[in-house]
């Protein structure tokens, strides 16, 4: 009887220790979380409704999709409308159009627009891959992110400690043939968006050129708070990403639309990936790139978003054997400690982006 009692005590002690150190799959809706990369460009509330149910808050991001200044302003209006309707659930990152680039007052006009956005509650600004991959000046020269004409804008942001979010370049897969890409979601995306499939455009800057331009920009602006969207386009190698995080102390990254690459590396090198997330837990922000533009059925948007959030939660908090349509093959979750999960899913968003800093989270 004594042996049984001691064994029961040991089992209970181990169980309590697990509960103190790790979350479970069932803790999903109990833990407050932030998704720092969403695009809700519609007036309906389906997206924020599912976020409330799943205990998520959101950063709603404007993007210059090379459709002109009015398109950027239309997106911004949708984002601010969502924030005004749900101030406890939304923050906004604005953007600027490149259409005014050849105007000698480009920097002045851009800063005036940004000041308006920040005065209305925007907390950050995003630049997109059209810089470096698409936009050309009046002389047909492709504009890279380290172009000196951006310096005044980036100095303005650095002085005011306003974060710059950068989707610069693309996944390394973008420069490979479709059948050589490592993850299925990249194969699908570049089939559907051949204009951005750089394997078919050898006349444009290489992957290495894109990363080098981004790095030169950060070297010029060491005080700029920078969030590399989509794992800083270094999603394919945690060692390469770690090298940049070590070099640029004011750089963090989000995970938006790159969990497939994380799964892919986990299949073969789970412990290496887990060690990376633990070591750099202060520099990684959870994000999905989920969107709602009002075109798909609201119930489908909610279902797809909930399933994505839930799968990612399972990956980070359990060591379950999992599968995903983004990769071929099974992998085990990372089962990160609570401290790391809290940072990745919420605390880093407040620290790096100032999200909900004046609210109880």
Q: Parallel, antiparallel, or unpaired: how do β-strands 90-94 and 321-322 relate? A: unpaired
pLDDT tens digit string along 295-347? 999 999 999 999 999 999 999 999 999 999 999 999 999 999 999 999 999 99
pLDDT tens digit string along 245-257? 999 999 999 999 9
CATH code, 2-353:
3.20.20.140
Per-residue pLDDT, 359: 54
Closest listed residue to residue 335, CA positions, set 253, 275, 250? 275
Hey, is 32 helix, strand or coil?
coil
Per-residue pLDDT, 5: 53
Per-residue pLDDT, 361: 39
Q: 261 and 234 in contact (C-beta within 8 Å)?
A: no
* Residues present in the chain in total: 361
Q: What are phi and psi of 87, to 5 degrees?
A: -65, -25
Rounded CA gap, 252 and 72, in Å?
25
Q: 267 and 208 in contact (C-beta within 8 Å)?
A: no
Flag whether the pTM goes above 0.85: yes
Rounded CA gap, 165 and 287, in Å?
13
Rounded CA gap, 61 and 94, in Å?
6
Rounded CA gap, 84 and 79, in Å?
9
CA-based end-to-end distance of the chain: 48
Per-residue pLDDT, 358: 62
pLDDT tens digit string along 214-260? 999 999 999 999 999 999 999 999 999 999 999 999 999 999 999 99
Distant-in-sequence contacts of 234-241, Cβ < 8 A, 24+ apart: 235/171, 235/172, 235/261, 235/262, 236/171, 236/172, 236/173, 236/182, 236/261, 236/265, 237/265, 238/265, 238/272, 238/273, 238/276, 241/276
Say how far residue 278 (Cα) sits from the centre of its chain: 18
Closest listed residue to residue 168, CA positions, set 217, 249, 259, 232? 232
> What is the residue-wise DSSP string for 186-199?
HHHHHHH-GGG-GG
What angle do helix axes 184-192 and 259-279 make, rounded to 10 degrees?
130
> What is the residue-wise DSSP string for 204-269?
SPPHHHHHHHHHHHHHH-TT--EEEHHHHT-TT-HHHHHHHHHH-TTEEEE-TT-HHHHHHHHHHH
Rounded CA gap, 349 and 254, in Å?
10
Nearest 5 degrees, angle CA 252-CA 228-CA 175? Answer: 140
Share of the chain above pLDDT 90, in %: 93
Q: 234 and 259 in contact (C-beta within 8 Å)?
A: no
Rounded CA gap, 7 and 4, in Å?
5
Domain ranges of the chain: 2-353
Q: 285 and 227 in contact (C-beta within 8 Å)?
A: yes
Contacts of 140 (CB under 8 A, 6+ apart): none
H helical segments located in 54-204 = 69-85, 106-119, 130-133, 151-160, 184-192
Per-residue tens of pLDDT for the chain, all 361 residues: 555 555 544 444 445 567 789 999 999 999 999 999 999 999 999 999 999 999 999 999 999 999 999 999 999 999 999 999 999 999 999 999 999 999 999 999 999 999 999 999 999 999 999 999 999 999 999 999 999 999 999 999 999 999 999 999 999 999 999 999 999 999 999 999 999 999 999 999 999 999 999 999 999 999 999 999 999 999 999 999 999 999 999 999 999 999 999 999 999 999 999 999 999 999 999 999 999 999 999 999 999 999 999 999 999 999 999 999 999 999 999 999 999 999 999 999 999 999 997 654 3
């Amino acid at each position: 009887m004594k042996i049984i009692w001691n064994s029961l005590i040991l089992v209970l002690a181990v169980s309590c220790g697990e509960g103190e150190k790790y979350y479970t799959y069932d803790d999903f809706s109990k833990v407050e979380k932030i998704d720092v990369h969403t695009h809700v460009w519609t007036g309906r509330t389906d997206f924020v409704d599912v976020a409330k149910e799943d205990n998520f808050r959101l950063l709603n991001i404007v993007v210059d999709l090379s459709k002109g200044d009015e398109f950027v302003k239309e997106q911004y209006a949708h984002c601010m409308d969502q924030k005004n309707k749900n101030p406890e659930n939304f923050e906004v990152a604005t953007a600027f159009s490149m259409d005014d680039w050849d105007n000698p007052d480009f920097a002045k006009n851009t800063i005036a627009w940004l000041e308006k956005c920040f005065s209305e509650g925007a907390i950050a600004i995003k630049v997109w891959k059209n810089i470096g991959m698409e936009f050309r000046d009046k002389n047909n020269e492709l504009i890279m992110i380290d172009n000196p004409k951006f310096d005044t804008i980036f100095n303005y942001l650095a002085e005011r400690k306003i974060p710059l979010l950068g989707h610069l370049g693309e996944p390394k897969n973008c420069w490979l043939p479709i059948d050589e890409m490592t993850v299925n979601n990249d194969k699908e995306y570049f089939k559907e968006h051949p204009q951005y499939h750089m394997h078919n455009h050898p006349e444009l800057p290489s992957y290495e050129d894109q990363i080098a331009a981004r790095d030169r920009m950060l070297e010029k602006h060491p005080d700029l708070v920078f969030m590399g969207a989509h794992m800083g386009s270094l999603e394919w190698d945690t060692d390469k990403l770690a090298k940049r995080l070590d070099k640029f102390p004011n750089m963090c990254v989000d995970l938006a639309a790159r969990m497939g690459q994380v799964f892919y590396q986990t299949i073969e090198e789970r412990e290496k990936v887990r060690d990376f997330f633990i070591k750099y837990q202060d520099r990684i922000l959870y994000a999905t790139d989920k969107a709602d533009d009002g075109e798909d059925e609201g119930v489908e948007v909610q279902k797809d978003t909930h399933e994505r959030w839930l799968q990612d939660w399972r990956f980070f908090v359990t060591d379950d054997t999992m599968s995903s349509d983004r990769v071929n093959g099974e992998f085990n979750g990372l089962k990160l400690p609570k401290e790391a999960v809290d940072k990745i899913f919420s605390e880093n968003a407040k620290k790096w982006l100032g999200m909900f800093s004046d609210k109880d989270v």
